């Protein structure tokens, strides 16, 4: 009885403390506009259930942010359990957060569901000095001129994709383009970064691809449903996700060990990114195998889905905008004709192609938002923002802001053609278009993604006529990255 009484006292004490903390937190942010949560459930959970309802009905969280922006304005706050999140839909605030202040970030995806996934890799390292030395080690390998040396690898993976799609099109079935692109981007990053031949394009049930997808699912679950471990209906899913992450780590360790042995034999002279990284290590102590495994996984995760999604969105929009498709095809035919190898000079001339790729990422940014922590109190558009606030940098929301992108629902690559009258009249501000983020922690792989995206888009348009399957959903879903819900189903017809 005595034990029970003490236990109750502890639980009551903890509950009171938690309630008091929540009360203080809510008070700190109550001057900011935003959706209000009332009653006892609202007090403890904030907008948690509204978000769960929203995402369970196959809608993306970003759409809710966009709807809230229209009601509450460019700066607003909302509560999820014991955290307040502030959305800033404003260019000056973006510039300050990402460039001038270079605010610290959250290690989202480092240990989802308690498993080491991206760990202390480049994307999730939060310690600035450790991050800086690692980034400087890798920057070289991602420079445009270095990546251009791998143009034959980008081309040859593109040719494998064209051949596979050509074979599939003979069966007259509709093809899920996202799946094919996702396998292709995996093969490209494996080859260019690590000199690995994964050939997942011709082995669509590849385990590696499956594990990476489950890892991303684990991050999404962690983010959107922080209480998932307490929900019995989620137990099976969580077990599967955790096992997949462990399998991915095992696969990565084995692959890396084998690759390092090979590279050692040739004195790290290959020009792939892994070899370059090892050559740049200053001393033996810099070599941390666990972190290398984290980076190995990080590059697959950072470089695969994002680029595959961006390309899928291009086709989703091209299938609905025949005028844009015609202009794109005219350019590709004029620049490339029927030649197979796309050179650096060709890429430079594919201006409309590049504008299509950019516009797809404006309307459908693969990374629709990311967070930053404000270390000290600041003022944004006249609102006082308390210290230790988590900001969401709203790539999706700001890309659909009428003030910055007139007629935002329209797919209009001309926005990005610098000599076009529309682009001249509606100049795009670099702080309102940032699919690769901005500032020191911007995407290290952006040159990689642009080369791959433009080259593959041009190759597919050069080789195929296509039509969208008419009964599919054109909606999008968020699995950490944003992707088309039905994967862009198409009927393809080879042109030659
Ligand atoms: C269309 C394709 C891509 C998009 C939209 C994209 C977007 C982004 C964004 C928004 C960030 C910043 C995230 C944050 O601050 O939390 C980022 C970081 C990063 N990306 Fe990408 N990315 C793409 C392709 C790639 C590729 C191809 C690679 C690798 C080859 C890559 C590797 C990384 C890494 C390692 C980071 C962390 C950089 C750092 O913190 O120093 N990404 N990416």
Q: Which residues contact 254 (CB under 8 A, 6 or more apart)?
A: none
Contacts 24+ apart (CB under 8 A), 169-176: 169/464, 169/491, 169/492, 169/493, 169/494, 172/491, 174/469, 174/489, 174/490, 174/491, 175/489, 175/490, 175/491, 175/492, 176/486, 176/487, 176/488, 176/489
Task: Indicate if ligand 1 lies below 6 Å from the C-beta of 444.
Answer: yes
Kindly give the number of the ligand 1 atom that is closest to the alpha carbon of 273. Answer: 30
Residue 5 falls within a domain, yes or no? no
Look up residue 204 and give its DSSP letter. T
Is the CB of residue 315 less than 8 Å from the CB of residue 322? no
User: Considering its fold, how many domains does the chain have in total?
Assistant: 1
Q: What is the CATH number of the domain that holds 99?
A: 1.10.630.10
Q: Whose CA is nearest to atom 7 of ligand 1?
A: 436
395, HSE (Cβ side, Cα atoms, 13 Å): 24
pLDDT for position 286: 67
Write out the two tokens for 450: 């642009």
Q: How far is the CA of 482 from the centre of ligand 1 (A)?
A: 14
Question: Which residue has 């955790």 as its token pair?
Answer: 242
- Domain of 330? 31-494
Asked if the structure places residue 85 within a domain, the reply is yes
- Residue 279: per-residue pLDDT: 74
Which residue's CA lies nearest to atom 6 of ligand 1?
436
Phi, psi of 129 (to 5 degrees): -75, -35
Quote the ipTM score: 0.99
The pLDDT assigned to 316 comes to 97
Query: Alpha helix locations (H) across 350-445?
Result: 351-363, 395-399, 421-425
Buried (b) or exposed (e) across 247-277, using 16+ Cβ within 10 A? bbbebbeebbeebbeebeeeebebebbbbbb
* Residue 3 resides in a domain: no
Q: What's the CA gap between 371 and 379, in Å, rounded?
A: 18
Rounded distance from Cα 444 to ligand 1 centre (Å): 6
Contact (CB, 8 A) for 354 and 454: yes
pLDDT at 266: 76
The continuous run of DSSP H or E covering 13 comes out as helix 2-29
SS3 content of the chain, % helix, strand, coil (to 5): 60, 10, 30
- Beta carbons of 421 and 387 less than 8 angstroms apart: no
Question: What separation in angstroms does the CA of 386 have from each of 151, 373, 376?
Answer: 48, 11, 7
H or E, element range at 490? strand 489-494
Nearest to 444 by CA among 99, 110, 147: 147
Specify if 14 maps to a domain: no
Residue 459 CA to residue 76 CA, distance in Å, equals 44
Return the residue whose CA atom lies nearest to atom 14 of ligand 1.
Answer: 370
Asked if residue 308 is part of any domain, the answer here is: yes
Kindly state whether residue 270 falls inside one of the protein's structural domains: yes
Instruction: For the chain, 496 residues long, give each residue's pLDDT as a single digit of tens.
Output: 788 888 888 888 888 988 999 999 999 999 999 998 888 999 999 999 998 888 888 788 899 999 999 999 999 999 999 999 999 888 988 998 899 888 888 888 999 999 999 999 999 999 999 899 889 888 888 999 989 999 999 999 999 999 999 999 998 889 999 999 999 999 999 999 888 888 899 887 888 889 998 998 999 888 878 888 888 889 999 999 999 999 999 999 998 888 888 877 877 767 778 887 777 776 666 678 898 899 999 999 998 999 999 999 999 999 999 999 999 999 999 999 999 999 999 999 999 999 999 999 999 999 999 989 988 888 888 899 999 899 889 999 999 999 999 999 999 999 999 999 999 999 998 899 999 999 999 999 999 999 999 999 999 999 999 999 999 999 998 877 899 999 999 999 999 8
Q: Which of 302, 453, 482 to mutate to test the pocket of ligand 1 (most atoms within 8 A of CB)?
A: 302
Radius of gyration over alpha carbons of the chain, in Å?
A: 24
Distance separating alpha carbons of residues 117 and 120, to the nearest angstrom: 9
Using alpha carbons, select from 457, 360, 347, 442 the residue that is nearest to residue 393. 442
Name the β-bridge partners of 384: 379
Q: In what order do the strands lie in the sheet with 464-468?
A: 175-176, 489-494, 464-468
Phi/psi region, residue 90 (left: phi>0; alpha: psi -120 to 50; beta: rest), is beta
Q: Which atom of ligand 1 is nearest to the CA of 366?
A: 5
Name the token pair of 457.
């888009």
Determine, yes or no, domain membership for 54.
Answer: yes
Closest listed residue to residue 154, CA positions, set 483, 453, 495, 487? 453
Q: Establish whether residue 360 lines the binding site of ligand 1, counting it when its CB lies within 6 angstroms of any ligand atom.
A: no
Provide the H-helix boundaries in 170-288.
177-194, 207-224, 235-265, 273-280
* Helices 48-56/61-72 angle, 10° precision: 130
Q: Is the CB of 353 under 6 A from ligand 1?
A: no
435 lines ligand 1 (CB under 6 A): yes
Ligand 1: nearest atom to the Cα of 121? 35
**Of 337, 333, 396, 328, which Cα lies nearest the Cα of 356?**
328
Atom of ligand 1 nearest to the CA of 310: 1
Give bridge partners of residue 86 from the DSSP assignment: 77, 391
DSSP letter, residue 97: I
């Amino acid at each position: 009885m005595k034990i029970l009484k003490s236990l109750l006292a502890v639980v009551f004490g903890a509950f009171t403390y938690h309630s008091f903390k929540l009360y203080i937190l809510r008070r700190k942010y109550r001057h900011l506009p935003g959706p209000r949560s009332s009653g006892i459930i609202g007090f403890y959970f904030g907008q948690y259930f509204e978000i769960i309802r929203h995402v369970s009905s196959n809608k993306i969280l970003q759409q809710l942010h966009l709807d809230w922006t229209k009601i509450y304005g460019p700066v607003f706050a909302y509560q999820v359990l014991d955290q307040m999140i502030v959305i800033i839909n404003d260019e000056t605030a973006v510039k300050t957060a990402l460039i001038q202040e270079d605010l610290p970030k959250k290690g989202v995806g480092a240990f989802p569901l308690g498993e080491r996934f991206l760990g202390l890799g480049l994307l999730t390292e939060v310690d600035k000095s450790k991050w800086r030395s690692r980034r400087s080690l890798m920057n070289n390998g991602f420079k445009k001129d270095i990546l251009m040396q791998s143009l034959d690898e980008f081309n040859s993976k593109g040719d494998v994709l064209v051949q596979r799609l050509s074979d599939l099109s003979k069966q007259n079935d509709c093809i899920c383009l996202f799946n094919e692109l996702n396998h292709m981007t995996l093969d490209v990053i494996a080859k260019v970064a690590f000199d690995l031949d994964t050939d997942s394009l011709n082995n669509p049930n590849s385990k590696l691809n499956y594990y990476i997808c489950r890892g991303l699912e684990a991050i999404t679950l962690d983010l959107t449903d922080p209480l998932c471990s307490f929900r019995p209906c989620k137990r099976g899913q969580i077990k599967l996700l955790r096992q997949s992450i462990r399998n991915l780590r095992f696969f990565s360790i084995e692959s890396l060990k084998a690759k390092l042995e090979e590279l050692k034999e040739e004195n790290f002279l290959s020009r792939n990114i892994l070899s370059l990284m090892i050559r740049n290590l200053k001393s033996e102590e810099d070599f941390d195998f666990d972190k290398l495994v984290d980076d190995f996984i990080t590059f697959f995760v950072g470089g695969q889905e994002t680029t595959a999604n961006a390309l899928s969105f291009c086709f989703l929009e091209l299938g609905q905008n025949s005028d844009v498709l015609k202009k794109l095809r005219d350019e590709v035919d004029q620049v490339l004709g029927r030649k197979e190898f796309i050179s650096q000079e060709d890429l430079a001339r594919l201006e409309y192609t590049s504008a299509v790729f950019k516009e797809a990422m404006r309307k459908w940014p693969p990374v629709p938002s990311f967070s930053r922590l404000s270390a000290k109190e600041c003022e944004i558009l006249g609102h006082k923002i308390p210290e230790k606030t988590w900001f969401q940098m709203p790539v999706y929301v700001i890309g659909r802001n009428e003030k910055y992108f007139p007629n935002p629902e329209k797919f209009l690559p001309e926005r990005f053609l610098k000599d076009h009258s529309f682009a001249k009249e509606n100049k795009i501000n670099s702080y309102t278009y940032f699919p690769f983020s901005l500032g020191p922690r911007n995407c290290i792989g952006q040159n990689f993604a642009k080369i791959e995206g433009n080259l593959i888009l041009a190759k597919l348009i050069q080789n195929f006529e296509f039509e969208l399957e008419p009964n599919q959903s054109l909606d999008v879903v968020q699995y950490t990255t944003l992707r088309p819900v039905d994967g862009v189903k198409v009927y393809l017809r080879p042109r030659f």
